[in-house]
Structures are given as structure tokens and as C-alpha cells.
Structure 1
Amino acid sequence: MPEGHTLHRLARDLEAAFAGRRVRSASPQGRFAAEAARLDGRVLESAEAFGKHLFVAFADVPEQVHVHLGLYGSFVISPGVGHPVVGQVRWRLEAQASADLRGPNACELLTPPEVDAVLGRLGPDPLRADADPDRAWHRIHRSQVPIAALLMDQSVLAGVGNVYRAEVLFRHRVAPMTAGRRLPRVRWNAMWDDLRELMQVGVERGRIDTVRPEHEPEAMGRDPRADDHGGEVYVYRRDGQPCLVCATPIRRRLVAGRNLFWCPSCQQRG
């Protein structure tokens, strides 16, 4: 599932391509046809990400389009217009460029109260300037749930997914099964600041990179990571491989329905 940096990058790219322009709006697949027709010919005003959710607003339309990509969704922007429809395109936008949405979990036109209801279910998003880390902390420091599960709970923290949770826990040497209430406030503050920086790098590069300069391939004389997710990471999908810091084999276990990766030597403390 795309993590929050992907949605923020997508929002930025949609605004660059369409904001302030009248757009053609259609649903070749037909599952968003009535809503797309209502938006056809309107000026796209903004595209904004909140965690893993995208909201697109149009002039003179009180509702907003809510998109959640889920596991298999994609929203691809291409130069030019009039491209043949390939696959099941739920929603197509066209101005001087085209954007095709395929396979989302959600593509719906929501009223302002419905938008507020979606946002009300989300915790703070580290990539948003208006995010309040104290909201997440109030949930974490009262909880017996392992921190590795809390980081994946979008009502606690919005936008963080499986890669960022594993990597931020490693970078701060936190044992993943540590109960939230045992995590010191100073460590949470450091993790929040780190997530903001790491996820902003993800927006800029379009991939997740979490290793420090001294552990990059060139510095260590090792081969770059070969993985379809791209980016250089410490533990994600590296089970059985030596830790880049201490050489202990990385472990894997299922936590909150997803594979968690961690170093049993580096991550001993709560």
C-alpha cells in the first residue's frame, strides 16, 4: 500500500498539472460516471493529501473527490491528452496533461461533513505543517499496544506504513514490541521529527531512503539494494541479511497484519 509520501507527491503533481485549469472529467470504467460528469469542465482548485487519503477540490462545487489508493490503486499523470484508455480507468482528468486513476479502494464525491468525518478518523500526518504530534502521543503513552502496531494505526498516526514504521523503530533503536506507554516522551519526539524528515525526502525522491550517509552503498563498499520498492533501508525486507550496523541477521514477524522487520541486537530497548 502506498505510504503517505506517495499521496503528498501525487497531490503536488496534480496541482502542478491541473490547478487553475478547466479540466475534462470522465469515468471510462463507468463506476464514477455521474460524479465525473458533474465535475466536467470545472476548474480544479486544489489537491491535498491527509495521510494516505487524497482530496481534490473544484471551483463552485461544495463536494470534494476523495481517493484512497489501497493496495492496488494508481493515479498516473502523463503529458498530453487523448490517450487510449488502457485497463479499468475509474477516473480520467484532462487539460494539457492526463491523469488516470485505476483500482482505488475509494473514489467518491463527498460533502463537507463527509470530508470532515474522514479527517476526524485520522491521526496527525507528519508531512502536514498543521500536524500536532501531541495528538499521537496522547494515544501512544496510554496504550499497552506494541509501538510497532500503534505506528500502523492511521487513527494514531496518518501516513506511516509498513516501511516507515520498521525503519524509524530501527533508527531510534526501539524494540518493536515495546508497549506504547513504555516509550519515553523524548524518544517519541525524536521519532516524530525523524519521520517528518524521512517522509519529506520520500516526497522529493519518489522513493523511501532511510540509511544514514555512513551506511550508504558507496560508504560501505556494498551493492545497492535490489528491491522493487527501491531506496536504501536498514531492515525492511532484509530478513536473514546482516544488519548494516552490527551484522546480526535481521528478523521478521507479523505485527498488525503486516510483516515487521527488525534487528534483535540494535533494537533491545523500549
Structure 2
Amino acid sequence: MPASPFRPSRRQHVDTHDPEPRRAAWSALVAGPAVYLTAEFVAAAAWTDPPYSYTHHFISALGVRGPATAFGQFMLSPLAPVMNAGLVLFGVVVLVGVLALRLPAARRLPVVAAAVVLAVGSAVVALFPGDGDALDSGAADHHALGAFGAFTAGNALVLLLGAAHRPLGISRGRGRALVALGVLGLAGMVGYVALLAAETGVLVGLVERTAIYPFLAGLLLLGLALRRAARRRENGLVNGNGLVATGSTTTR
């Protein structure tokens, strides 16, 4: 017998273990990487002499107004404020997205902590550009701490979010993909540190991006997965027991 629209049948189920993702969460997690990549692209496109190289130049060079020479690279970024503003905004937007997630307290605390470190690290990188003057003032130390803090926290964040796939309401496969991206980013970080220690500078921009792009991809992947899950719930397609709701009836 069809369930009454006013009185739920015994087969109807309200899912309490797989909460509906908030719109603010998935929107911010998608917007954060988009903000960063857009700022990076716009700042890089403004370089003319020399043109910016994604494989050769440090990411930090995009935030140095210049002209300056540091770490063996000439830096002249006409739109340095765009890159630095993008870094700050990226961290804030991702933090907002993480705060909007519904997670159990045991999982929420480390996830929020990682997002806070990512946001603070990104802001420090923007406020203390890695230019030549910074070497004398000590600001380069702040820049390096901010960068490595952000790299580590960003990859740890997607690892933690991947491990929390069930309370987030995303598939195990997507959770594993997030974990894999976090591991890839941390491996990229190790490679980047090794390259800096060797002082070769060969493809340093490319290797540096292997520490950043994986967690950007992870945040974007999670945001899109949460968006898909939210829309499925809005359409009433599937509830927690795997029952398909059609109008006022519920079927398997």
C-alpha cells in the first residue's frame, strides 16, 4: 500500500548516518582551487620579459613584484598583488568549506586544524614574498615556513577527508582517490625538498607543483562529489537503506 504523504510507512527511512552536504561546503571546496588556479594563471600570463615558465620558475615568483633576483631566478611579476590576494582568498574559502562540513567531532577536529594551517600558511606566503630583500630581513624564513606548512596541511587535509568518506556521504572509491592524491602530494613535497637540497633548480617549478596540484585536485574532487550527493538527496533518489523514493511511495 502506498505510504501516506502525512504518515511515513515502516519502510521509509530518514538517513541520519549520511548527512546531506551543505551547499556552502561543496561550493567553497570547488571555488577554493578555482581561485588559486585562476590567480596563478592571470599572474603568470602577465610576465613578458622573461615569460613565466610553469616548469622552471618557483610558484612564489608570481608574488614578487620585482625586479629582483633570488634563488637563481629573475623575478618580475607585474600582477603580483593578484597572486598574493588569490593565495589569501584561497585559504579562507577552503577553510569556510571545511567548517561547513558535517563531521563527527573526532574527525572534525583534525580536519579543521589542517584547514586552519593551510589558510594561515597561504596567507603567510602572500604577506612575505620570497624575494631577494627577504633574505636579508629574515622574511624568507617566514615565507618558507608558510609554504611548507601549507603544502603539508593541504595534503594532510585531503588524506583526512578521504578517510572520512563515510560520514561525508561520498563513495569509498572517491575516498580512496582523495587518500591517493594526498599521498602523491606528500611524495611530491619530498621530491621538492630533495631538489632544493641538491641546488640544481632543474624543473623546480614542475616538481613544486607536484606537491600542490594533488591536494587542489582532491579538494575539487570532494566538492564535486558532495554536490552530486546533495543533488541526489534533493531529488529524493536514494536514502540510507538503499530505498528509491518515487513521489509518495518508497520502493527497492
Q: Which has the higher contact order (CA 8 A, sep 6+)?
A: 2
Normalized per residue, which structure has more strand?
A: 1
Instruction: Give the number of the structure whose alpha-carbon radius of gyration is greater.
Output: 2
Is the structural similarity TM-score above 0.5? Answer: no
Q: Under a length normalisation based on structure 1, what TM-score does the superposition of the two structures give?
A: 0.30
